[in-house]
Structure 1
Amino acid sequence: MAVSANRLELLQIADAVAREKSIDRGIVIAAMEDAIAKAARSRYGAETDVHAEIEPKTGDLRLTRHMLVVDAVENPSNQITVDDARKRHPAAQVGDTIADPLPPLEYGRIAAQSAKQVIVQKVREAERDRQYAEYKDRIGDIVNGVVKRVEYGNVVVDLGRGEAIVRRDELLPREVFRNGDRIRAYIYDVRREPRGPQIFLSRTHPQFTAKLFAQEVPEIYDGIVEVKAVARDPGSRAKIAVISRDSSVDPVGACVGMRGSRVQAVVNELQGEKIDIIPWSPDIATFVVNALAPAEVAKVVLDEDKERIEVVVPDQQLSLAIGRRGQNVRLASQLTGWDIDILTEQEESERRQAEFENRTKIFVDALNLDEVVGQLLASEGFGSIEELALVDQKEIASIEGFDEETAAELQERAKEYLAAQEAELDAKRKELGVADELTEIPGITMKMLVALGENGVKTVEDFAGCATDDLTGWTERKDGETKKEPGFFDGIDISREDAEALIMEARLKAGWITEEELAAQRAEAEPAEEPAAEPA
């Protein structure tokens, strides 16, 4: 069958639009069908259910009016009685929809304009959906584009199949782009918005550096070398931690390349940003020492609960470890995820001396001892009265110059002091109105009860309603710095696990949970024991 010129033209237009907008041809034809149906409704009445179908191969257009079969007609534009329907379709039943063919239409200027708007709108929506579907899965990729325009410092980039934006704060300092410049950037977000998908690019994102190395270093692309962490001060300096899965491959050497060619290519892309490549280590102390390079570290002290590490460096290395405006230690902290305190050997010595004097003073004042005896206890590592009271008496007697009688006297004085403190705290607890029931919770101390009372927690139900963060506090990491929010038990040595166990005991006592539920939760929290090996 020959295809008429206007039909052929209809298919050619559909093909051209589909190619130009990179959308499916079927979507364009569906848009044309909707447009023609809308134009036909302006001729036959807005309430008439007109459908248009375009044969994808031949371009034949068929107009039909759909009518709902009903018992009693309320709207003759789109309803028909069963009797009338059966005259055309003998098998028609109530609830069926019958389609009557309509004659071809001659479209006027207004109808054609209306049809054009529908097609444009549908094609634009399809194009937006295609862009969003294409780029939403590319978050984390590097793309190349051409600068289309610069608006108030924000750079609009033509990616070929879509538009993206690099906001002013996502550009490197002192970086200037003009229309027509080529730009390489990292996709960090794609959002579906009313005006179309918004693709956000960045040249300051830490992962931009990691992806650039993946492009320059085949070992990273192949998975032999892995980038574990990146910290950046965009445009100035960066630290990147790498590890090798093959013992024969040096991860740092692979990233540096022959005569520094690989790292230099990344540096050039980042406008001269200095990059320190550091071997990653699962041991946090080793990792922190590596991260503080080029400074030398004499000693590290870890506080795993607070994720804080104290680093002692030689006096002449302090400025190098801290870096200009604190840059070196700040980047090392971002890279490791730990807070880093830097002390010189002299500062650490002075602090240790101050701690020794403070512990000595506690023993002297609390137990009414001579200063020499207090110094002996402090030098043997005793840090508190509680520790002295609970330790095995033989351990105290083994200190040079002490005997069993002296040890027994010291422990007796320590226990009397603690009992007096306990009585004082108990009186304060009662004064704060903390219920006696709370004292029955296993593991809770008078110091904790006073702290709860000072924070308005006075009954078992109050305590049962607390969260672990309420007791121990929490940390928030923002802009590379960790901020510690205090909890009710701030200053009391208690882990998050122990705090959670206290809350669960309170919930059991309040009747919020049963013994079986508590036992099940404990079983889940405990690591499963490995089965014993069977005898050979």
Structure 2
Amino acid sequence: MNFSELGRMIETLGKDRGIDKRVVVRAIEQAFLVTARKKYGIQGEYETRYNDAEDEIEIYQYKNVVENVKDPIIEITINEARNLDSEVEIGDQLGIRIENPSFTRVDVQTARQIIFQKVRDAEREILFSDFKHREGELVTGIARRYERGNVIVDLGKSDAILSRKEIIPGENFKTGDRIQAYLSEVVMTNRGPEIRLSRTSPMYLVKLFEVEVPEILDGNIEIKSAAREPGQRAKIAVYTSDREIDPVGACVGMKGSRVQNVVNELQGEKIDIVRWNSDVEVFARAALAPSEISNIQIDHANHSMDVVVEEDQLSLAIGRRGQNVRLAAMLTGYKINIISKTKLQEKIKKAVTSLMQIVSVSDARAQIMVQNGIMSIADLAAMDAETLSGILSGNVADAAQVLKDTHEAIEKGTLNLSDDEEELVSASAVPAYKGLLDKHKEVPVDGKDKFSDAERRLREELAAFKLK
């Protein structure tokens, strides 16, 4: 059978849509295989081949050679078979070419629909493969329209979605505006690949600095962590092993030119650049700048820290509406509790005074207890003699006497047990996400098998295709 448009169709799809010729040919072969099954019997075994030289589809029907035929669709007599092949024997399978299958217009239309459906699937897979390896890159496109508050961005080969939550607060785009964004992910949906963009991701901030600061792109400076409250403020932590390079100064640029370019792209978002350090305490002090920290107690097991600051540094450490401590928490990956030094001293003083109500607890002993976390009579009463003796560096007998006096005083009711507990923590921030960056994922660069996944998936779909 000859269809003059087959060759033209294959060439057109290959050039216009960038689909490998082999993929189109397989789709055509499978389409006519389905049509042949429908026309000549679904229980039969068929094979279709595209003859490139003749620009035609060859259809073969395979039959088992038998003495007596029971099902003419799958069987052929030995005599008839030997007319086609003199060497055939009973039990062999013989491929018979179907000449002039005379497909109806409906058959041809069915084949055409299958071809274009499979080609569309292949095109989606190719598009998916083309953008999947670009995840984590900056892309630039043109705003085309709004759909349910999301901006549809034309990237050339495909449209991408910049969702409402990924737009920096206060930004408004008009049709035709140029948009730069971070390609966060590419997912396959029922409607094809969906390319998702972001302008609020911390990685967008990182990528902008990579563009502006050549030392980052060269690998001499590394951005270790990034945290953002989009449109308002951001913090990044930078590091270099080269002592000759100032990582913070390099990111700021001459007269602040480099960081200002990033600020302009982020709609005036203020950016703090701090030096990263493997020592969590040193890093935390830098992350909480511009406040001055008096003391830090770190619980590495629970990823939290108590930060003590002077009263006049409290507002700086917390920041406007808690912004500074929130960004610092995201930058370090630790929960941060901001504690006023004045409040802490008052609490320690009250605790010492309370413990000294016990006759055998001197001022020195009370100070030692408080330093070891015994902040109230209740804490002391819950101790055992052996543990308390270790804290007081004394013998067990002395510790037992202290506990005895404590329990007797509680029973007599002579103690002033104040329940007026003032909140010690002035502000607390749990990281909404950890800003610490992982190493970039390796992306395959072998282009010669770029579309193999698309072709393989199409081949599997075609092979599994069955008439309903």
Same fold by TM (over 0.5)? yes
Q: Judging changes above 3 Å, is the alpha-carbon distance between structure 1 residues 33 and 396 closer, same or farther for their aligned structure 2 residues?
A: closer
Q: TM-score, normalised by structure 2?
A: 0.76
- For residue 300 of structure 1, report the CA deviation from its aligned partner: 1.9
Unaligned runs of 5+ in 1: 398-406, 421-475, 482-536
- The residue aligned with 1:375 is 363
- Looking at structure 2, the residues matched to 151 and 282 of structure 1 have their Cα atoms a distance apart, in angstroms, of 45
AA at the equivalent of 1:254: A
1:257-296 to structure 2, matched below 5 A, reads 257-296=253-292
- The residue aligned with 1:458 is none
- Looking at structure 2, the residues matched to 210 and 395 of structure 1 have their Cα atoms a distance apart, in angstroms, of 52
Q: Does 1:197 pair with 2:193?
A: yes
- The residue aligned with 1:229 is 225
Q: Judging changes above 3 Å, is the alpha-carbon distance between structure 1 residues 166 and 394 closer, same or farther for their aligned structure 2 residues?
A: closer
- For residue 145 of structure 1, report the CA deviation from its aligned partner: 2.2
Q: Does 1:67 pair with 2:20?
A: no
- Looking at structure 2, the residues matched to 50 and 394 of structure 1 have their Cα atoms a distance apart, in angstroms, of 88
Q: Spell out, residue by residue over 1:370-425, the C-alpha distance to the aligned partner (whole angstroms, 9 max, x if none).
A: 4xx4322122457456586457799757xxxxxxxxx67514425878999xxxxx
1:134-533 to structure 2, matched below 5 A, reads 134-361=130-357, 364=358, 369-370=359-360, 373-381=361-369, 383=372, 389=386, 396=393, 409-413=397-401, 479-480=432-433
- For residue 94 of structure 1, report the CA deviation from its aligned partner: 7.1
- Looking at structure 1, the residues matched to 363 and 68 of structure 2 have their Cα atoms a distance apart, in angstroms, of 105
- Looking at structure 1, the residues matched to 363 and 211 of structure 2 have their Cα atoms a distance apart, in angstroms, of 61
- Looking at structure 2, the residues matched to 50 and 281 of structure 1 have their Cα atoms a distance apart, in angstroms, of 69
- The residue aligned with 2:118 is 122
Q: Spell out, residue by residue over 1:459-496, the C-alpha distance to the aligned partner (whole angstroms, 9 max, x if none).
A: xxxxxxxxxxxxxxxxx977359xxxxxxxxxxxxxxx
Q: Is the 8 A contact 1:15 1:25 kept in 2?
A: yes
- For residue 231 of structure 1, report the CA deviation from its aligned partner: 0.8
- The residue aligned with 1:526 is none
- Looking at structure 2, the residues matched to 304 and 221 of structure 1 have their Cα atoms a distance apart, in angstroms, of 32
- For residue 49 of structure 1, report the CA deviation from its aligned partner: 4.1
Q: TM-score, normalised by structure 1?
A: 0.67
Aligned length: 405
Q: Is the 8 A contact 1:148 1:180 kept in 2?
A: yes
- Looking at structure 2, the residues matched to 284 and 393 of structure 1 have their Cα atoms a distance apart, in angstroms, of 30
Q: Secondary structure at the match of 2:323?
A: helix
Q: Is the 8 A contact 1:227 1:242 kept in 2?
A: yes
AA at the equivalent of 1:479: A
- Looking at structure 2, the residues matched to 111 and 299 of structure 1 have their Cα atoms a distance apart, in angstroms, of 82
1:32-43 to structure 2, matched below 5 A, reads 32-41=28-37, 43=39
Q: Judging changes above 3 Å, is the alpha-carbon distance between structure 1 residues 43 and 340 closer, same or farther for their aligned structure 2 residues?
A: closer
Q: Judging changes above 3 Å, is the alpha-carbon distance between structure 1 residues 319 and 73 closer, same or farther for their aligned structure 2 residues?
A: farther
- The residue aligned with 1:444 is none
1:25 maps to which of 16, 21, 25: 21
RMSD: 3.4
Unaligned runs of 5+ in 2: 375-379, 409-428, 435-468
Q: Is the 8 A contact 2:334 2:431 kept in 1?
A: no
Q: Is the 8 A contact 1:173 1:235 kept in 2?
A: yes
Q: Is the 8 A contact 1:389 1:414 kept in 2?
A: no
Q: Is the 8 A contact 2:329 2:431 kept in 1?
A: no
AA at the equivalent of 1:180: G
Please, which moves more after superposition, 338-347 or 270-279? 338-347
- Looking at structure 2, the residues matched to 28 and 226 of structure 1 have their Cα atoms a distance apart, in angstroms, of 46
- Looking at structure 1, the residues matched to 391 and 294 of structure 2 have their Cα atoms a distance apart, in angstroms, of 36
More helix per residue: 1 or 2?
A: 1
Identity of aligned residues (%): 39
Q: Judging changes above 3 Å, is the alpha-carbon distance between structure 1 residues 72 and 327 closer, same or farther for their aligned structure 2 residues?
A: farther
AA at the equivalent of 2:195: I
Q: Is the 8 A contact 1:150 1:178 kept in 2?
A: no
AA at the equivalent of 1:264: Q
- Looking at structure 1, the residues matched to 315 and 62 of structure 2 have their Cα atoms a distance apart, in angstroms, of 83
Q: Spell out, residue by residue over 1:415-457, the C-alpha distance to the aligned partner (whole angstroms, 9 max, x if none).
A: 878999xxxxxxxxxxxxxxxxxxxxxxxxxxxxxxxxxxxxx
Q: Is the 8 A contact 2:236 2:274 kept in 1?
A: yes
Q: Judging changes above 3 Å, is the alpha-carbon distance between structure 1 residues 95 and 200 closer, same or farther for their aligned structure 2 residues?
A: farther
- For residue 53 of structure 1, report the CA deviation from its aligned partner: 1.7
- Looking at structure 2, the residues matched to 268 and 281 of structure 1 have their Cα atoms a distance apart, in angstroms, of 28
Q: Is the 8 A contact 2:369 2:392 kept in 1?
A: no
- For residue 124 of structure 1, report the CA deviation from its aligned partner: 0.7
Q: Is the 8 A contact 1:156 1:164 kept in 2?
A: yes
Q: Judging changes above 3 Å, is the alpha-carbon distance between structure 1 residues 181 and 162 closer, same or farther for their aligned structure 2 residues?
A: same
- For residue 26 of structure 1, report the CA deviation from its aligned partner: 0.8
Q: Is the 8 A contact 1:330 1:480 kept in 2?
A: no
Q: Judging changes above 3 Å, is the alpha-carbon distance between structure 1 residues 20 and 394 closer, same or farther for their aligned structure 2 residues?
A: closer
- Looking at structure 2, the residues matched to 284 and 95 of structure 1 have their Cα atoms a distance apart, in angstroms, of 78
AA at the equivalent of 2:55: G
Q: Judging changes above 3 Å, is the alpha-carbon distance between structure 1 residues 417 and 240 closer, same or farther for their aligned structure 2 residues?
A: same
Q: Judging changes above 3 Å, is the alpha-carbon distance between structure 1 residues 392 and 144 closer, same or farther for their aligned structure 2 residues?
A: same
Q: Looking at both structures, which has the greater relative contact order when contacts are Cα pairs under 8 Å and sequence separation is at least 6?
A: 2
- The residue aligned with 1:524 is none
Q: Spell out, residue by residue over 1:121-164, the C-alpha distance to the aligned partner (whole angstroms, 9 max, x if none).
A: 01011011112223333322222222332111112223223332
AA at the equivalent of 2:242: D
Q: Judging changes above 3 Å, is the alpha-carbon distance between structure 1 residues 347 and 106 closer, same or farther for their aligned structure 2 residues?
A: same
- Looking at structure 2, the residues matched to 12 and 268 of structure 1 have their Cα atoms a distance apart, in angstroms, of 51
Q: Does 1:111 pair with 2:107?
A: yes
Q: Is the 8 A contact 2:385 2:400 kept in 1?
A: no
Q: Judging changes above 3 Å, is the alpha-carbon distance between structure 1 residues 48 and 304 closer, same or farther for their aligned structure 2 residues?
A: closer
Q: Does 1:100 pair with 2:96?
A: yes
Q: Judging changes above 3 Å, is the alpha-carbon distance between structure 1 residues 183 and 96 closer, same or farther for their aligned structure 2 residues?
A: farther
Q: Judging changes above 3 Å, is the alpha-carbon distance between structure 1 residues 99 and 241 closer, same or farther for their aligned structure 2 residues?
A: same
Please, which moves more after superposition, 197-206 or 83-92? 83-92
Please, which moves more after superposition, 234-243 or 46-55? 46-55
AA at the equivalent of 2:9: I
Please, which moves more after superposition, 233-242 or 195-204? 195-204
